[in-house]
Amino acid sequence: MNYLVLKITGRAFNADPHLLRRYVNVVKSLLDARKLVVVTGGGAYARKYIEVARDVGVESNYWLDLIGILASRLNSLLLISALSNHAYPHPPESIEEAVKAVGCYKLVVMGGLIPGQSTASVLLQVAEALGVKKVYYYSAVGRVYDRDPARYPGARPLSVITASELKSILEQRTLPGEYALIDANALEISVRSGIEIQLLDYREPEQIYNALEGENPGTIVIPR
């Protein structure tokens, strides 16, 4: 049985419930033909909790990250509870637990794993562990642009970009709750194990059907 490995940005969990229902339906329909591992991001509550922690004097990035990780698992649990007939009943806390779980269950949903590592890295690590060569990543924008679209109205979306180009474009941020679209560590795993990343727009869960039929609805990151 083949595997589908994807990530859903935390943002999808704090938007309207209708969007989340669409994700639930998409995941359910994908389960018919394959096993799924879904990685969930942290989102607004993660950031909110991290902010409160800072307010009460927590300065350690380790602890702030742990809070973000637990919040991302709350998003995992939300998805698990909606698909509990098919899912491994709790978010794995290591890649090894995920690998074990996927041997017995059709659906595994997990959040962050360790401080200092983004959930995008988790996505790539799971793919590497399972020998999967393409992952799907629902992100805030769904595309990479040639310039920052927030500042340049004429910025144009790219359909393909290499991992090393993307690495030089992205401003690296590694603060808790503030991980960039994708971090250097994730891109390195992508390159070393030849894993292609299909970016998708988190507002359009159904885009994955097109992507599975060979279309490219967002940007593809080539592992080079």
Residues that bind its own copies (CB under 8 A): 13, 17, 20-21, 24, 45, 49, 52-53, 55-58, 60-64, 66-67, 70-71, 73-74, 77-78, 80-82, 84-85, 88-90, 94-96, 99-100, 103-105, 113-116, 121, 124-125, 128-129, 131, 172, 174-175, 184-185, 188-189, 192-193
* Minimum gap (Å) between residue 179 Cβ and its own copies: 11
CB 138 within 8 A of CB 205: yes
Give helix then strand counts, H and E, for the chain.
Answer: 9, 9
Taking the least distance from each CB to its own copies, the nearer of 29 and 116 is 116
Q: Helix, strand or coil for residue 5?
A: strand
* Minimum gap (Å) between residue 40 Cβ and its own copies: 13
Taking the least distance from each CB to its own copies, the nearer of 188 and 204 is 188
* Minimum gap (Å) between residue 139 Cβ and its own copies: 21
43 CB-contact burial (10 Å; exposed 0-12 / middle 13-18 / buried 19+): buried
Q: Helix, strand or coil for residue 85?
A: coil
What are 60's two structure tokens? 């350690």
Cα 182 to Cα 185: distance, rounded to the nearest angstrom = 8
* Minimum gap (Å) between residue 182 Cβ and its own copies: 14
